[in-house]
Structures are given as structure tokens and as C-alpha cells.
């Protein structure tokens, strides 16, 4: 079985055999080990409610070669958007065996659009990690750009992609237009590299002067955190945000997913 369709093959139909490892829109703070990756998942619904409008999803194929991830933020927050968030998780699960990344995102968008005809939408990051080659394929549906840390250069940067064809509607949030198209970017990862995905509760947080952090402010904050100790990165990030403004992370659902690429030695028990 070839879990990721090679670039030399046509975009033919095909499938993998994947299972959900973890997913939901409830409060969680845990560590997971999958082939080639260690993942830290943090989710806190708005106002201490049981479930919220952020949803995360992780799956692994039966041979352990392919890990897929979703982090999505449904418009609105808290329990009022919980059902919609769970619908998105279900659609991701139903399409998770689709081999082609772009077709996966487009399929999820079409079906999500049919469920949200009254104006609901969701920003989302959907990625596929192929462990044998340590390659990542990422699609962004209107979501804040993830931060990427290259271990060899000790440098953080945003993973952003400019659509090649601006004449079509690309990369907009899920659920707005059923015929929207989605691009993808490919990157080869190395042991120690980090991928930080998050919902907009972090970019909407305030700095000490009362101004919105935005992407630039968040990047500057993350650059001061201990990338060499990734298990401390999320706790320290939450502490730093809380120290800057009393209202930070309390007015919206907040979800963070951090992935570290493992070496073969790190994977051995």
C-alpha cells in the first residue's frame, strides 16, 4: 500500500485505512506519540463550558506511516457552536481515507457547506505527515498561519502559501462556497522541527499596552519560548499570554496543537 499518492501519479481515486486517534471539542491537555511525531494537544472551550467551537482531529493509517491532523475554528464560540464543530469532526473522519490532500479538503468543504447553509463557517488547518520521508503536506482554509520551527537554524517562521491562480476562489474558510478550491504546500521536516497550530484566541489576545497581538506579536512572543524543551512551550505560552492581559484566552475557545518531528532513536521504546 502506498499511503500518499506520488506526484507522478494522476489524481486517481484511492484510499487508505485510517483510524481516529484523538479528536473532539472538549477540554483536554495531553501528549500523544505517533509514528515520527510527538504531539501536544491543548483545548479549552470558552467560559469553562464542556464543549466549544474549536475542534481538533488526529488519525493514523493502519501501517503507522501517515498521520493526519485537523485544527478548526467554527464561527462563534462555546457550546452554541459545539454541534457544528462535531459535524466537522465527523466529516473529517468520513473522508480521512482519501489519499489526495486537496481532494480531501474540497470534499470536507462541499459537505460542510451543505450543513451550514444559514451562514456558518469554519477556518481550518488540515495536514498530512508521511513518516517514511518526514514530509508534511498542509492546506489552510482561511486559518491563522501555523508557526514552523527549523531546529537546525533555531528559527521560527510562518508557513504561508500564495495561490498560483488568483482568478479562482482559493483557501477560504470551510462552508462559505461549496466550489472553493484549496491549495497545498509541501515541506520536508527534520528531527527536532516543530509545527505550532492554534486558534485565533491567541492572535486576538492583547499585549500589555492593550493592542491586539496579531500574527506578528504572537511570533515575537513564541520566539522567546523554550523551543529546545517543547513540552514546556504550550504551558509557557499560556502563562505569557495570561500575564500580558487579564482577559486573554477567556473570551473565546482556545486550542493549540504542537507537533515535534522525532528521530528514529527517539521513536524506539
Average pLDDT for the chain: 86
- Is residue 135 one of the residues assigned to a domain? yes
pLDDT tier, 64 (very low <50, low <70, confident <90, very high otherwise): confident
| Domain boundaries, position 158 | 18-267
Contact 45, 54 (CB under 8 A): yes
- Residues 115-125: tens digit of each pLDDT: 876 567 999 99
pLDDT tier, 234 (very low <50, low <70, confident <90, very high otherwise): very high
Residue 81 pLDDT = 75
- Is residue 4 one of the residues assigned to a domain? no
| Stretch 68-94: mean pLDDT | 84
- Is residue 166 one of the residues assigned to a domain? yes
- Is residue 52 one of the residues assigned to a domain? yes
Q: Which residue has the cell 500500500?
A: 1
Residue 238 pLDDT = 96
- Is residue 13 one of the residues assigned to a domain? no
- Is residue 12 one of the residues assigned to a domain? no
| Stretch 84-99: mean pLDDT | 86
Specify the CATH number for the domain of residue 234: 3.60.40.10
| Stretch 172-176: mean pLDDT | 94
| Stretch 225-242: mean pLDDT | 96
Q: Rounded to the nearest 10 degrees, how much is the dihedral formed by the CA atoms of 258, 263, 268, 269? A: -40
Q: In 62-199, at which residue ranges do the beta strands (DSSP E only) sit?
A: 66-74, 122-130, 135-141, 147-150, 155-158, 185-188, 194-198
Contact 87, 53 (CB under 8 A): no
- Is residue 172 one of the residues assigned to a domain? yes
- Is residue 112 one of the residues assigned to a domain? yes
Total structural domains in the chain? 1
Residue 2 pLDDT = 35
Please tell me the distance from the alpha carbon of residue 13 to that of residue 97, in angstroms, as a whole number: 10
pLDDT tier, 253 (very low <50, low <70, confident <90, very high otherwise): very high
pLDDT tier, 265 (very low <50, low <70, confident <90, very high otherwise): low
| Statement: residue 99 has pLDDT above 90 | no
Residue 46 pLDDT = 84
Q: Is 6 exposed, middle or buried (0-12, 13-18, 19+ CB in 10 A)?
A: exposed
Amino acid at each position: 500500500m502506498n499511503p500518499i499518492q506520488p506526484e507522478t501519479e494522476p489524481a486517481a481515486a484511492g484510499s487508505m485505512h485510517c483510524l481516529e486517534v484523538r479528536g473532539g471539542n472538549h477540554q483536554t491537555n495531553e501528549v500523544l506519540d505517533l509514528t515520527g511525531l510527538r504531539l501536544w494537544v491543548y483545548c479549552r472551550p470558552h467560559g469553562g463550558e464542556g464543549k466549544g467551537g474549536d475542534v481538533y482531529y488526529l488519525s493514523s493509517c493502519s501501517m503507522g506511516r501517515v498521520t493526519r491532523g485537523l485544527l478548526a475554528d467554527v464561527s462563534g464560540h462555546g457550546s452554541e457552536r459545539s454541534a457544528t464543530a462535531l459535524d466537522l469532526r465527523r466529516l473529517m473522519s468520513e473522508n480521512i481515507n482519501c489519499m489526495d490532500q486537496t481532494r480531501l479538503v474540497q470534499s470536507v468543504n462541499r459537505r460542510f457547506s451543505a450543513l451550514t447553509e444559514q451562514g456558518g463557517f469554519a477556518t481550518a488547518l488540515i495536514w498530512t505527515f508521511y513518516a517514511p520521508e518526514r514530509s508534511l503536506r498542509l492546506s489552510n482554509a482561511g486559518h491563522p498561519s501555523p508557526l514552523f520551527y527549523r531546529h537546525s537554524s533555531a528559527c521560527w517562521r510562518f508557513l504561508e502559501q500564495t495561490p498560483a491562480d488568483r482568478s479562482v476562489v482559493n483557501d477560504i474558510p470551510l462552508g462559505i462556497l461549496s466550489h472553493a478550491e484549496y491549495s497545498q504546500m509541501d515541506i520536508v521536516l527534520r528531527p527536532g522541527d516543530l509545527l505550532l497550530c492554534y486558534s485565533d484566541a491567541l492572535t486576538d489576545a492583547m499585549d500589555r499596552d492593550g493592542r491586539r497581538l496579531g500574527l506578528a506579536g504572537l511570533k515575537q512572543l513564541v520566539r522567546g519560548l523554550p523551543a529546545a524543551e517543547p513540552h514546556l512551550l504550550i504551558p509557557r505560552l499560556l502563562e505569557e499570554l495570561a500575564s500580558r492581559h487579564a482577559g486573554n484566552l477567556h473570551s473565546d475557545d482556545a486550542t493549540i496543537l504542537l507537533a515535534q518531528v522525532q528521530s528514529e532513536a527517539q521513536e524506539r521504546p
